[in-house]
Amino acid sequence: MLILETPLQNPKGDRADILYIIDVVVSSLFAIELILKVIVFGFMFNGEDSYIRNPWNIMDFIIVAFSVVTLTMKDANLGAVKSLRMLRVLRPLRMISRNPGLKIAVNSLLNAIPFIGDVIVVSLLFLLLFAILCINLYKGKFWTCHVSDDVLGKLSPHAAENLQKNINEHVEHRFQCLDYGGEWINADSNFDWILDSIITLFSVMTTEGWIDVMWSALDATEIDYAPIMIPGAYGFSVIFFMFIIFFFHLFILNMFVGIVINQFSNEKETLEMNHLLT
């Protein structure tokens, strides 16, 4: 139903009425199921098998409760009621409690959260170590000479072209850049201090813009000196950044995957009672 609803449909049209009827029927079936389970298992004070003591039943109860509230207050224009209608997207989650495979997968993810926290701490430690290493290697070396559009706009096209050409060919130092009227600016992704270094390394880990960072590192020379582009040069920086990507993608990512798979195996053995055979 949520797929069929659009903000452009007539709220008083036939389509809206049909969707409302379907919503009432589905919510009524959910409510009847809830009532029957409460009658069979008891609501709360009937031991460990009570309805509300099962986490999956708590989720079902919340979904049904919000459905009933939104239906009874259908014509209300309150902002809170409109927000409650958004919670109908939780209805597909009811399938989890009825599918053993999905339940195992969700339980595995939830049980893996504490162990994932430990892996995150280890990952942050490695990230900090590599960030400190990058500061020592590339601090202050990503600065370049740049001429703003405002300066170029005040010149004739020929003069602007010559100025840009002179800067590209003859500027080797920060003060030469300033003498030509340029600006000594830093790259957005740099390793000048620890926070910038961590953010840049994180973007490299995600493989988002890592090639630009690698080429900037490859062209870097010394502090306050302009980068030098050497066509066909492949040095330490290329190997270093490729190692970072392989390390964090293959090693760290596989640690997260391994934790989830291990928890999945444990949940499956518990469900099948295989742990009682050992």
Model pLDDT for residues 121-164, shown as the tens digit of each residue: 888 898 999 999 999 999 988 888 877 766 666 677 777 777 77
Is residue 95 predicted with pLDDT exceeding 80?
no
Could you tell me which of 202, 146, 206 has the C-alpha nearest to residue 177? 146
Question: Do 91 and 113 reside in the same domain of the chain?
Answer: no
Q: Give the model's pLDDT for residue 154.
A: 67
Question: Do 200 and 62 reside in the same domain of the chain?
Answer: no
Question: Do 36 and 130 reside in the same domain of the chain?
Answer: no
Q: Give the model's pLDDT for residue 182.
A: 77
Q: Which of 98, 117, 134 delimits the end of a domain? A: 98
Question: Do 56 and 121 reside in the same domain of the chain?
Answer: no
Residue 165 burial (10 A CB sphere; 0-12, 13-18, 19+) = exposed
Asked if the structure places residue 61 within a domain, the reply is yes
Question: Do 120 and 48 reside in the same domain of the chain?
Answer: no
Asked if the structure places residue 161 within a domain, the reply is no
Distance CA 244, CA 240 (A): 6
CATH code, domain carrying 139: 1.10.287
Asked if the structure places residue 159 within a domain, the reply is no
User: 191: domain range?
Assistant: 109-143+186-272
Question: Do 244 and 266 reside in the same domain of the chain?
Answer: yes
The count of structural domains within the chain is: 2
Backbone angles phi, psi at 226, to 5 degrees: -70, 150
Asked if the structure places residue 151 within a domain, the reply is no
Asked if the structure places residue 119 within a domain, the reply is yes
Asked if the structure places residue 173 within a domain, the reply is no
Is residue 214 predicted with pLDDT exceeding 60?
yes
Question: Do 114 and 241 reside in the same domain of the chain?
Answer: yes
Question: Do 219 and 197 reside in the same domain of the chain?
Answer: yes
Question: Do 131 and 248 reside in the same domain of the chain?
Answer: yes
**What is the tens place of the pLDDT at every residue in 217-274?**
888 888 888 888 766 556 788 888 888 888 887 788 788 888 888 877 877 777 665 5
Question: Do 136 and 235 reside in the same domain of the chain?
Answer: yes
Question: Do 93 and 230 reside in the same domain of the chain?
Answer: no
Asked if the structure places residue 175 within a domain, the reply is no
CA distances to 17, 87, 206, 216, 242 from 5, in Å: 11, 14, 36, 49, 47
Asked if the structure places residue 243 within a domain, the reply is yes
Question: Do 79 and 205 reside in the same domain of the chain?
Answer: no
**What is the tens place of the pLDDT at every residue in 44-85?**
777 777 888 877 788 788 878 877 777 777 665 555 555 666
Q: Give the model's pLDDT for residue 195.
A: 92
